Amino acid sequence: MRFATRAIHAGQDPDPTTGATIIPISQSSTFTQAAPGVHKGFEYSRSGNPTRAALETALASLEGVGHGLAFASGLAAENAVFSLLATGDHVIAAEDLYGGTVRLLETTVRTRGVDVTYVDGTDPEAFEAAVTPRTRLVWVETPSNPLLHLTDIAAVAEIAHASGAALAVDNTFATPYLQQPVALGADIVVHSTTKYIGGHSDAVGGAVLTDDDELFDRLRFYQNAAGGIPGPFDSWLILRGLKTLAVRMREHEKNARVLAAHLSAAEGVDMVHFPGLPSHPQARLASRQMSGPGGMVSLRLAGGKPAARRFLLALRVFSLAESLGGVESLACYPSEMTHAWLPEDERERRGIGGGLVRLSVGIEDVEDLIADVDRALAAARAG
Ligand SMILES: *Cc1c(COP(=O)(O)O)cnc(C)c1O
- CATH number, position 308: 3.90.1150.10
Q: Do 237 and 278 share a domain, yes or no?
A: no
Amino acid identity, position 60: A
* CA-to-CA dists, residue 233 to 27, 31, 35, 248, 380, angstroms: 7, 17, 29, 22, 42
pLDDT of residue 338: 87
Q: pTM of the full predicted structure?
A: 0.97
Residue 75 corresponds to which amino acid? Answer: L
Do both 226 and 249 map to the same domain? no
Separation of alpha carbons 281 and 283, rounded Å: 6
Task: Name the residue at shortest CA distance from atom 4 of ligand 1.
Answer: 74
204 CA from centroid of ligand 1 (Å): 9
Q: Which residues pair with 331 in a beta bridge?
A: 320, 359
Residue 63 near residue 242 (C-beta atoms within 8 A): no
Q: Which residues of the chain have pLDDT under 50?
A: none
Give the domain extent around 301: 245-382
Residue type, 65: V
Give pLDDT, residue 361: 98
In a shared domain, residues 188 and 296: no
Q: Residue 315: phi, psi to the nearest 5?
A: -65, 140
User: Do residues 205 and 229 lie in contact, with contact meaning Cβ atoms separated by under 8 Å?
Assistant: no
Closest residue by Cα to atom 5, ligand 1, is 74
Q: Mutate which of 98, 179, 202 to test ligand 1's pocket (most atoms within 8 Å of Cβ)? A: 98
Question: Of 242, 270, 300, which residue sits at a domain end?
Answer: 242
Cβ–Cβ < 8 Å for 308, 333: yes
Residue type for position 338: T
Do residues 192 and 265 share a domain?
Answer: no
Q: What is the dihedral of CA 155, 150, 288, 192, to 10 degrees?
A: 100
Ligand 1, residue 101: give the atom nearest the CA: 10
Q: Are residues 215 and 331 in the same domain?
A: no
Q: How far apart are alpha carbons 359 and 324 in whole angstroms? A: 8
Minimum-distance ligand 1 atom for the alpha carbon of 324: 15
- Measured between alpha carbons, how far is 136 from 73 in angstroms, rounded to an integer? 24
The region that residue 270 occupies, defined by phi over 0 for left and psi between -120 and 50 for alpha, beta otherwise, is alpha
Of 174, 207, 242, the position where a domain reaches its end is: 242
Residues 141 and 252 reside in one and the same domain:
no
Looking at the structure, tell me whether residues 175 and 28 fall in a common domain: yes
Type and span of the H or E element at 3: helix 3-9
212 and 253, same structural domain? no
Catalytic positions, please? 46, 98, 170, 195
73 with 192: CB under 8 angstroms?
yes
Q: Which amino acid is at 91?
A: V
CB 194 within 8 A of CB 36: no
Number of domains in the chain: 2
Centre of ligand 1 to C-alpha 379, Å, is: 31
Query: In angstroms, rounded to a whole number, what is the distance separating the alpha carbons of residues 367 and 61?
Result: 35
Predicted confidence (pLDDT) per residue in 243-277, tens digit: 999 999 999 999 999 999 999 999 999 999 999 99
Q: What is the pLDDT of residues 139-164, one digit of tens each?
A: 999 999 999 999 999 999 999 999 99
For residue 186, what are the contacts with CB-CB under 8 A and spacing of at least 6? Answer: 153, 157, 167, 168, 169
Q: Which of 43, 27, 290, 355 is nearest to 144 (CA)?
A: 290
Atom index in ligand 1 nearest the CA of residue 77 equals 9
CA of 366 to the centre of ligand 1 (A): 26
Give Cα separations from 206 to 71, 88, 134 (angstroms): 5, 27, 28
CB atoms under 10 Å from CB of 67, counted, come to 20
Q: Are residues 198 and 107 in the same domain?
A: yes
Residue 159 shares a structural domain with residue 252: no
CA of 80 to the centre of ligand 1 (A): 14
- Predicted pLDDT at 346: 87
Residues 247, 4 contacting (CB under 8 angstroms): yes
> Tell me, what's the pLDDT at 141?
98
Residues 186, 288 within the same domain = no
Give the pocket of ligand 1 (CB within 6 Å): 73-75, 98, 100-101, 141, 145, 170, 172-173, 192, 194-195, 204, 206
Question: Rounded to an integer, what distance in angstroms lies between the CA atom of residue 203 and that of residue 233?
Answer: 9
Shortest CA distance to 265 belongs to which of 361, 368, 352, 373? 373
Largest interatomic CA distance in the chain: 75
277 and 129 belong to one structural domain: no
The pLDDT of residue 350 is 86
Q: Which of 242, 263, 279 is the last residue of a domain?
A: 242
The span from the CA of 42 to the CA of 33, in Å, is: 9
How many Cα atoms are found within 13 Å in the side-chain-facing hemisphere of 20?
A: 10
**CA-204 nearest atom, ligand 1:** 7
Q: Within 13 Å of residue 63, how many CA atoms lie on the same side as its CB?
A: 32
Which ranges in 227-281 belong to alpha helices (H)?
Answer: 232-242, 245-264
